[in-house]
Amino acid sequence: MEEEIRKTISSWSLEQVSQRLGSALAALVFVNVIGALFAIAPIFLGSIAILVGSLWPTWVRDLYTQIRKRILFIDEEDEEDKDKEE
C-alpha cells in the first residue's frame, strides 16, 4: 500500500500538486469562515439550517449517493489502470 501511495504521488504533475494544495487551502478558509459565522450569529445559521433542511429534506441521501458514485468511479479508474499495466 505504501508503495502504491508513493507511486501515485510521484506521478503527480506540478499542476495536480498545486490543485490539491489550493483545494486544501480553500477548505481551510471555508471551515474558518463557517466557524466565525457560528461564533457571530448562531441563531441566524441555525435558522438557515432549519429552513434548508425543510426545503431540501433528501440532502443527506443525495450527498451519500454522490459520494458513493465518486468512490465507485475512482475504483473503476484504478481497475482500468491496473489492467493497462498488465
- For residues 74 and 6, give the distance between their C-alpha atoms in angstroms, rounded to a whole number: 18
Tell me what the pLDDT averaged over the chain comes to. 84
| Residue at 47 is within a domain | no
Q: Above 80 in pLDDT, residue 79?
A: no
pTM, 2 dp: 0.46
| Residue at 34 is within a domain | yes
| Residue at 27 is within a domain | yes
| Residue at 13 is within a domain | yes
| Residue at 74 is within a domain | no
Q: Above 80 in pLDDT, residue 78?
A: no
- For residues 55 and 51, give the distance between their C-alpha atoms in angstroms, rounded to a whole number: 6
| Residue at 82 is within a domain | no
Enclosing H/E stretch for 14: helix 14-40
Number of domains, the chain: 1
Domain that holds residue 19: 1-41
| Residue at 18 is within a domain | yes
> Which pLDDT value is given to residue 65?
92
| Residue at 30 is within a domain | yes
